[in-house]
Amino acid sequence: MTKARKGDAADPLAELPVWARKLAQKYYTKTVNTFLLYGAVRDLQPLTQEDGSRGFGTLRTFLAEELFGGRDHVLFYDRSSGIRSSSPDTQKELQRTMAGYDALYGTDYAKSLPRDPARALQILENFLRMRLSEGRSLALIIDFAETLVPGGEMSHLSAEDRFVLATLEKWAHDPQFLAGDVSVVLLAENLADISPRLSRNPFVAPLELPLPMEEERLEYVRFKLEGKKLAAVSDVPLAALAKMTAGLSRINLDRVLTEALERGIRITTEQLKEKKKELIQAECHGLLEFIEPVNTLDAVAGHAKAKEMLRGAANALKKGRMEVMPMGYLVSGPVGTGKTFLVSCFAGEIGIPVVKFLNFRSQWQGVTESNLEKIFNLLKALWPVAVMVDEADTFLGNRDSGGDSGTSSRVFGSIASFMGNTVYRGKIVWFLMTARPDLLPIDLKRQGRAEEHLALFYPETEAEREELFKVMQKKTGLKLEVPSISELIPTGTRQLSGADMEAVLVRTRFRALAQGREQATVEDLKAVFEDFVPPSYPLEIELQNLVAVQECTSRELLPESFRRLDRDHITRRVRELKNLLEQG
């Protein structure tokens, strides 16, 4: 199958990437001849050059020269380029076959091969069968397979698409093809873009091409430098560069290194982070927001027990003890309690990247599943990574299909399955944030998914308010000596959230500036407090507090006022509040 034959003394599969070894092993069983490669199919792959040194080239080159280098004939086909051969000998053989075909059927294919799938696949099948009958070995590589067998309902496919699907399904279990030395390889970036009749066919083997891991990125950087010293172009050491480029393909890594080598743009930690963010967001087309945390948990005001728990998790990650990490966290609490900020600071505590889910749903059939697949592939390459899902109760949906041909149900099932995959424990840490955890499906917040339930509340004690004030002072840049912030807050003002406190301090600075002063005073702050009327939604806030209490998995996280409440009383009051809000 490869340049070296299977019977050689040296293992011909030893130097192949993992996905290629799996393909070869399946091929040698003689039970599968059709392979569906998806994932990083546009990335560079390792090649063995004529002098025995290591090089890199396209997947097309890798398949033709490395994986199928020992085949008699290797052919390529896609809608744009039509039928192509990998060598002059195969091209001559193809021309000879087409001349005979023309004589038999009155066509003129020897001069110009058709590109449309209906005729092209018929020609290819004829060529494959003739060469197999002669005992030849062949490989056919079909690129952009999603344009030939697109995903979606069968009734929505064109007549041509149905013909192609039927042809490829027939090839997959054809006795002559299974018995002969032939491989059909389909290439697509996303498995979800391919018709499930093919991708789930038992005679078709789907194989994912992952983004390069750390050691593979390290190998590519060494190859790209070609003996040059990294220090000449980079402030980042080699090992750190390989680690920090997690989530980048070799092509993306090539862009970073080419800029440094040819344009003299020196690689620094900050420049690399910014470039990585830019490349990943471009790859994801707005599906993910890449957040580089700038704070640690020291920047979080209050929530002492929650910070203690997250610091423990951070220490476990730093020690590489991924097996003790929760699969994910459910972070609940009323609006303005700093749920998003807490998660960002946790990531900053251990220096891992944070990605935030953006809108991956689409009105077009199949696109939502395809977008989700892109996100999952990137997360697997980025680990360790924290995944932030804001307003999780509405964003992730549920198992109810909702009249959308089952898309919502399939998407929810994919997310739940991915979240619960214990292979990623400690590598992909999920944070589901919501003010209404009672609306989040139990499938996501059970053990094995969002295992730890943290509850955040507004500051209640004077010490908590003082800490919140100092943190917000630093954030807003308000330099002001205040003996006691609690004394400035008017009597009767409800508990202030972090967002409320930030709004007060920003208004204080604005008041001073409006009066022609750069420096605000205590009197400015006192005046703003007396004028400030925080948005008041008492029933909603009470409900958000109580459902957070219900979901919390640690009694120590609860303020004293909630810790003493009877659970039955909480349940009854939640039911009452929901009824009142529905009536309102």
Q: What is the pLDDT of residue 373?
A: 81
Number of H-type helices and E-type strands within the chain: 24, 14
Helical axes 159-172 vs 117-133, angle rounded to 10°: 20
Domain boundary (167, 192, 209) is at 209
Residues 328 and 433 in one domain: yes
Domain boundary (257, 284, 311) is at 284
Q: What is the DSSP string of 49-70?
A: -TTS-EEEE-HHHIIIIIISTT
Residues 430 and 383 in one domain: yes
Residues 372 and 255 in one domain: no
Residues 81 and 140 in one domain: yes
User: Which parts of the chain register pLDDT below 50?
Assistant: 4-9
Domain boundary (436, 455, 474) is at 455
CB 36 within 8 A of CB 52: no
Residues with Cβ within 8 Å of residue 484, at least 6 apart in sequence = 462, 466
Q: What is the pLDDT of residue 6?
A: 41
Number of domains in the chain: 4
Q: What is the pLDDT of residue 398?
A: 67
Specify the DSSP class assigned to residue 148.
T
Q: CA dihedral in degrees (171, 176, 181, 186; nearest 10)?
A: 0
Q: Residue 404 belongs to what domain range? A: 291-455
Q: What is the pLDDT of residue 54?
A: 82
Q: What is the pLDDT of residue 5?
A: 41
Residues 574 and 468 in one domain: yes
Residues with Cβ within 8 Å of residue 161, at least 6 apart in sequence = 148, 149, 150
Q: How far apart are CA 150 and CA 168, in angstroms?
A: 13
CB 395 within 8 A of CB 437: no
The total of other beta-carbon atoms located within 10 Å of residue 18's CB is 12
Rounded to an integer, what is the distance from CA 448 to the centroid of its chain?
A: 19
Residues 39 and 149 in one domain: yes
Residues with Cβ within 8 Å of residue 468, at least 6 apart in sequence = 301, 302, 459, 496, 498, 501
> Percentage of the chain with pLDDT > 70?
94
Q: What is the DSSP string of 4-18?
A: S-TTSSS-TTTTS-H
Q: How far apart are CA 162 and CA 155, in angstroms?
A: 9
E strand or H helix that includes residue 490: none
Residues 302 and 443 in one domain: yes
Residues 219 and 194 in one domain: no
Q: How far apart are CA 266 and CA 27, in angstroms?
A: 46
The total of other beta-carbon atoms located within 10 Å of residue 87's CB is 12
Give domain status of residue 84, yes or no: yes
Residues 295 and 440 in one domain: yes
Residues 431 and 478 in one domain: no
Q: What is the pLDDT of residue 541?
A: 86
- The tokens 């977008």 sit on which residue? 371
Q: How far apart are CA 167 and CA 121, in angstroms?
A: 8
What's this model's pTM, rounded to 2 decimal places? Answer: 0.74
Q: How far apart are CA 471 and CA 65, in angstroms?
A: 60
Q: What is the pLDDT of residue 8?
A: 46
